[in-house]
Amino acid sequence: MDWFYIEGVLILAGINIIAVLGLSLLTGFTGLFSFGHAGFMAVGAYTCVYFGERLGLPFIAAVIAGGLSAGLVSLFIGRLTLKLKGDYFCIATLGFGEAIRLLLDNLQIFGGARGWPGIPPKVDLTTVVIFSLLGIIFLVFLINSRHGRAMIAVREEELAAKVMGIDVYRYKVISLFISAVYAGVAGGLLGYYLTFLQPKLFGLQKSTEYTIMVIFGGIGSISGSVLAAFFLTVLPEILRSFAVWRFVIYGAAVIFIMIARPQGLMGGKEITLKGITSILKKPGKNRAIRSGEV
Amino acid sequence: MLEIKDLHVYYGGIHALKGVSISVEKGEIVTIIGANGAGKSTLLNAISGIVKYREGSISFKGEPLPKLPHLVVKRGIVQVPEGRLIFANLTVKDNLMLGAYLRSDVNGIKRDLEMVYELFPRLKEREKQMAGTLSGGEQQMLAIGRGLMGNPELVLMDEPSLGLAPLMVQTIFKVIKDIKSMGKTILLVEQNAYKALATADRAYVLEQGRIVKSGRAQDLLDDPGIKESYLGVKVNNRG
């Protein structure tokens, strides 16, 4: 295994971490399931590359523009769907994701179904690490703020959140917006890493993968989402020598974890500095992982 | 203080409240009693802005009440919802702090937290515990405490005694009186008609979406019709 290959896997893991962090805010902390996140990623990817290559924006500006346009689309979608109850919202996002993919399949200015080749490679490991770290830090601060607590309240008991004076609809919109921006940024990075975009990349399978990662990591845990995104990106690569069997093993691994730990890897807990130091101080005793939502 | 006039609420084709008018004065406990499905919770939810009403008006302190839940809370009306609805995966303290979500007066919040802990010492003991691990009675205390953290002028209580052990029911009704003595106004919806009437100053009887009787709680307690329909039912049901 050469470094080029390993670096590639790590970059993909980092991109997935960014997308999963966003979905984690929506699903893990606000309690809304989305099966259309690949759609937001696609919007981000195509607009980012469009701004960067056709309009000549610098790379960072293009990535931000991609993220924001995914966010803008989410505001529009959110207005239409966020008043729906949980299950219906989930189905609406599924429809949205597929609609975006079909739209891109037929938009010839973006290359249609044939894809958009020849994008210059502008993403390396450092870029992805910086973006992921920024993503993690922002989310940690958000979750531990008054707004984060309000989102968790919406997840826990929507009606109670309402009678506490929390504007439930507004927080759902904000949560969807931020999570779409994360997906859009991840999409932009993906485009500039792969140097090729194709609507097929952003199908239902991608959305499902991200939802699996969030649940696998544990609902309501940022560290869980990061770990799961990393682990589930790397796992199929490690299994590459099993050829066609690798996705069977991948599936089995996911099922096994969900049976053994239905609450996910981290089960709503977080890895914190405090937790790590107290583990180091008294080994074996007290797993000392602080509860996440304090 | 609270003035409801000719309120009509529909759930699809079902006419749940058929012209309800009630009033609540500052500093009193008013109770609404009635059977299951009479529309008691619907009335509270209409005040809170959780269900929409089609006709009628609600005014609070002389001004029309907004129809969105968070705006209602801002005006000083907090509901303690039926079935507690605590945030199970958050700590007791986080639950209480969420009750103060709309407030920014740090000192006032601190003072009210002390007040709630004084009212319910059990909650102080369990401050760091996940709320879902509390017993039913403790969860009800938490729901009431959380409501008080919003520093409301009017507290709407929906079935606070539901599913609680008799001893705990005593405690809850004592607390309701304590809350009144703090100068707060209470609108109480209860199935336990006897307890509710014994605690309240005034009462309304709601039957199939209509107010059929009203008056001083003490008078209704002695009313033969009420005795038969509500107090009698209670004895048979609850043993």
pTM comes to 0.88
- pLDDT category of residue A269 using cuts at 50, 70 and 90: confident
CB nearest to A159's CB, from B50, B74, B91:
B50
ipTM for the predicted complex comes to: 0.86
Query: Tell me: the pLDDT tens digits for B65-119?
Result: 999 999 999 999 999 999 999 999 999 999 999 999 999 999 999 999 999 999 9
The Cα A247–Cα B85 span in angstroms is: 42
Contact indicator for A213, A16 with CB cutoff of 8 Å: yes
User: Looking at the complex, does the CB of residue B102 fall below 8 Å from at least one CB of chain A?
Assistant: yes
**What per-residue confidence (pLDDT) applies to A293?**
40
Picking from A48-57, A63-72, A284-293, B76-85, which range would have the lowest pLDDT averaged per residue? A284-293
Span A247-264, mean pLDDT? 82
Distances (CA, A) of A63 to A48, A107, A130, A207, B230: 5, 21, 13, 20, 67
Residue B239 lies in a domain: no
Q: What is the DSSP string of A5-29?
A: HHHHHHHHHHHHHHHHHHHIIIIII
CB contact (8 A) between residue A164 and residue B94: no
Chain B nearest-CA residue for A267: B89
Residue B26 lies in a domain: yes
Span A135-143, mean pLDDT? 96
**What per-residue confidence (pLDDT) applies to A122?**
93
CATH of the domain at B180: 3.40.50.300
Residue-range definition of the domain harbouring residue B53: 2-230
Contact indicator for B45, B81 with CB cutoff of 8 Å: no
Among A83, A149, A164, A221, most B C-beta atoms within 10 A, so best to mutate, is A164
Residue B236 lies in a domain: no
CB contact (8 A) between residue B87 and residue A159: no
pLDDT at residue B235 tops 60: no
Residue B237 lies in a domain: no
Residue B238 lies in a domain: no
Chain B partners within 8 Å of A156 (Cβ): 87-90
Chain A partners within 8 Å of B78 (Cβ): 163-165
Query: Tell me: the pLDDT tens digits for A151-187?
Result: 999 999 999 999 999 999 999 999 999 999 999 999 9
**What per-residue confidence (pLDDT) applies to A1?**
67
Query: Tell me: the pLDDT tens digits for A65-121?
Result: 999 999 999 999 999 999 888 789 999 999 999 999 999 999 998 989 999 999 999
pLDDT at residue A290 tops 70: no
Contact indicator for A67, A185 with CB cutoff of 8 Å: yes
User: Looking at the complex, does the CB of residue B101 fall below 8 Å from at least one CB of chain A?
Assistant: yes
Interface of B with A in 37-96 (CB under 8 A): 48-50, 68-70, 73-74, 78-81, 85-91, 94
Closest CA to B191 of B159, B239, B226: B159
CB contact (8 A) between residue B91 and residue A294: yes
Query: What number of other Cβ atoms are within 10 A of residue B210's Cβ?
Result: 14
What count of Cα atoms within 13 Å lies in the side-chain half-sphere of residue A218?
20
User: Looking at the complex, does the CB of residue B150 fall below 8 Å from at least one CB of chain A?
Assistant: yes
The Cα B141–Cα B135 span in angstroms is: 10
Contact indicator for A249, A242 with CB cutoff of 8 Å: yes
Percent of chain A surpassing pLDDT 90: 72
Among A147, A154, A163, A290, most B C-beta atoms within 10 A, so best to mutate, is A163
Number of structural domains in chain B: 1
User: Looking at the complex, does the CB of residue B146 fall below 8 Å from at least one CB of chain A?
Assistant: yes
Angle at A79 between CA A74 and CA A84, to 5 degrees: 110
Residue B88 lies in a domain: yes
- A236–chain B nearest CA distance, Å: 34
Contact indicator for B84, B143 with CB cutoff of 8 Å: yes
Residue B107 lies in a domain: yes
Chain A residues bordering chain B (beta-carbon distance below 8 Å): 146, 149-150, 152-153, 156-157, 159-168, 220, 268, 291, 293-294
CB contact (8 A) between residue A153 and residue B79: no
Contact indicator for B11, B67 with CB cutoff of 8 Å: no
- pLDDT category of residue B227 using cuts at 50, 70 and 90: confident
